[in-house]
């Protein structure tokens, strides 16, 4: 199958429990109340824009979020806050993770004086496990991939009376993932004065990473809700070896790809898309594409060794995925028609989100030390 899918979105927000929660939530107000809160930086990469012949390139840098090196704290903290509003007696929160989400749940639970239990896939690196344990959580490695870890986390939570805080929605489990998606909205709200004024956005194309789809759904819902059909074009990027959203669009239904799930983009190493995210993605994504690991590594190096006076950006493997997709579009003759489809030109204003910093320090060093 092709490594991309040109979608025909209807730009219509279908009402559901998820969209009702998104409409009513004000996660930014909550996050502003937390110790250490500050908006993450927005970098303008003028020289990179000139290199690729576009008008401007912006990078929202979540590597600085709450000292956790990733955006995931936005979703986990807001979800746990809302859970405890409903039942302050909850004692233990549980989740499955490839790294960043589990650390965010552990951090958020500790902040609330609660316990956290985290299940990780068997190939999770020791650095990511230690980072979760540092936040006070109990970590258990399971035999299998992310989807298997999610099943075990759900089953164990039900057995022990723990509260599952998972960032993927499935049958009879929608409310908490919706709070997590609401939490992610903070990063887009922070850009309102600069890039998201009323009426028409100041960017033309937004590249968003895809794992189970919750982060992508957050961005798509934000732009659809704010601008409707006048929203920027949205391109979703996921690993070639874990392209669940791309595979699902090609198949016409949520499904798990028959792939190795062996990718350096650990935070995006997911199979079956989140049920609620899937509906939002179908309504508002223009292109979904997958990229090989070598392109993610190339994007990491380009950000770490910037051209001329562009700022240095510490982007982890998943954090650089959006830029990897852009590089794929601009440097591959096979994707020239996608550039035309998105109308990428000398005036295009493009936004990326660096969703994580060096969350696996050794791997980051190994990749960025070579040029």
What distance in Å separates the CA atoms of residue 316 and residue 330, rounded to the nearest whole number?
Answer: 21
What distance in Å separates the CA atoms of residue 34 and residue 191, rounded to the nearest whole number?
Answer: 19
Q: How far apart are the first and last CA of the chain?
A: 31
Q: Which residue carries 């590594």 as its tokens?
A: 297
Q: How high does pLDDT run on average in the chain?
A: 95
8 A C-beta contact, residue 27 and residue 186: yes
Q: Which of 291, 263, 255 is nearest to 4 (CA)?
A: 291
SS3 31: helix
8 A C-beta contact, residue 45 and residue 351: no
Q: Which residue carries 């489990």 as its tokens?
A: 173
Sign of the alpha-carbon torsion through 231, 56, 319, 191:
negative
pLDDT more than 90, % of the chain:
93
pLDDT at 261: 94
pLDDT at 194: 82
> Given pLDDT bands bounded at 50, 70 and 90, which one contains residue 334?
confident
Q: For the segment 10-57, what is each residue's pLDDT rounded down to a tens digit?
A: 999 899 999 999 999 999 999 999 999 999 999 999 999 999 999 999
Q: Please compute the mean of the pLDDT values over residues 107-132 and round it to a whole number.
A: 96
| The pLDDT of residue 1 is above 70 | no
> Given pLDDT bands bounded at 50, 70 and 90, which one contains residue 336?
confident
Residues of the chain with CATH 3.40.50.1100: 4-70+177-368, 72-172
> Given pLDDT bands bounded at 50, 70 and 90, which one contains residue 338?
very high
Token representation of residue 134: 């540092």
Q: For the segment 226-278, what is each residue's pLDDT rounded down to a tens digit?
A: 999 999 999 999 999 999 999 999 999 999 999 999 999 999 999 999 999 99
Q: Among the listed ranges 102-116, 192-206, 207-221, 282-296, which one has the minimum average pLDDT value? A: 192-206
Residues with a catalytic annotation lie at 72, 98
Burial bucket for residue 69 (CB in 10 Å: 0-12, 13-18, 19+): buried
| The pLDDT of residue 72 is above 80 | yes
What distance in Å separates the CA atoms of residue 188 and residue 88, rounded to the nearest whole number?
Answer: 29
Topology of domain 72-172 in CATH is Rossmann fold (3.40.50)
Q: For the segment 169-204, what is each residue's pLDDT rounded down to a tens digit?
A: 999 999 999 999 999 999 999 999 889 888 888 999
CATH architecture of 4-70+177-368: 3-Layer(aba) Sandwich (3.40)
Token representation of residue 303: 């950000």
Burial per residue of 37-68, b for 16 or more beta-carbon CB atoms within 10 angstroms, e otherwise: eebbeebebeebbbebebebbbbbbbbbbbeb
Q: Give pTM, 2 decimals.
A: 0.96
Q: Please compute the mean of the pLDDT values over residues 136-143 and round it to a whole number.
A: 97
pLDDT at 335: 82
Q: Among the listed ranges 164-168, 215-219, 306-310, which one has the minimum average pLDDT value? A: 306-310
What distance in Å separates the CA atoms of residue 283 and residue 39, rounded to the nearest whole number?
Answer: 29
Q: How far is CA 71 from the centre of its chain?
A: 8
What distance in Å separates the CA atoms of residue 303 and residue 315, rounded to the nearest whole number?
Answer: 7
pLDDT at 12: 93
pLDDT at 291: 97
Q: Which of 313, 339, 55 is nearest to 202 (CA)?
A: 55
8 A C-beta contact, residue 75 and residue 181: yes
What distance in Å separates the CA atoms of residue 256 and residue 265, rounded to the nearest whole number?
Answer: 17
């Amino acid at each position: 199958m092709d490594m991309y899918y040109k979608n025909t979105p209807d730009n219509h927000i279908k009402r559901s429990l998820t969209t009702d929660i998104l409409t009513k939530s004000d996660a930014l107000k909550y996050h502003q109340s937390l110790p250490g809160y500050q908006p993450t930086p927005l970098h303008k990469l003028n020289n990179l824009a000139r290199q690729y012949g576009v008008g401007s390139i912006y990078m929202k840098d979540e590597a600085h979020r709450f000292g956790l090196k990733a955006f995931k704290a936005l979703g986990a903290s807001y979800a746990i806050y809302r859970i405890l509003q409903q039942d302050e007696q909850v004692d233990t929160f549980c989740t499955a993770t490839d790294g960043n989400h589990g650390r965010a749940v552990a951090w958020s639970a500790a902040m609330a004086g609660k316990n956290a239990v985290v299940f990780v896939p068997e190939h999770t690196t020791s650095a990511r496990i230690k980072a979760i344990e540092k936040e006070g959580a109990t970590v258990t490695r399971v035999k299998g991939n992310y989807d298997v870890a999610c099943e075990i986390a759900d089953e164990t939570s039900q057995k022990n009376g723990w509260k599952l805080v998972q960032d993927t929605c499935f049958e009879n489990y929608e409310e908490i993932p919706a709070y997590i998606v609401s939490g992610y909205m903070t990063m887009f709200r922070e850009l309102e004065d600069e890039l998201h004024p009323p009426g028409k956005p100041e960017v033309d194309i937004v590249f968003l990473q895809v794992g189970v789809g919750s982060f992508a759904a957050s961005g798509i819902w934000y732009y659809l809700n704010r601008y409707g059909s006048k929203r920027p074009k949205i391109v979703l990027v996921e690993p070639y070896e874990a392209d669940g959203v791309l595979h699902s669009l090609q198949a016409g239904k949520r499904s798990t790809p028959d792939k190795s799930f062996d990718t350096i983009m650990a935070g995006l190493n997911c199979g079956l898309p989140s049920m609620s995210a899937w509906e939002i993605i179908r309504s508002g994504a223009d292109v979904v594409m997958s990229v090989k690991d070598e392109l993610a590594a190339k994007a990491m190096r380009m950000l770490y060794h910037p051209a001329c006076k562009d700022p240095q950006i510490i982007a982890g493997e998943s954090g650089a995925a959006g830029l990897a997709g852009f590089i794929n579009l601009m440097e591959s003759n096979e994707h020239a028609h996608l550039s035309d489809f998105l109308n990428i030109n000398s005036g295009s204003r493009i936004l990326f989100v660096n969703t994580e910093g060096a969350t696996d320090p050794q791997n980051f060093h190994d990749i960025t030390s070579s040029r």
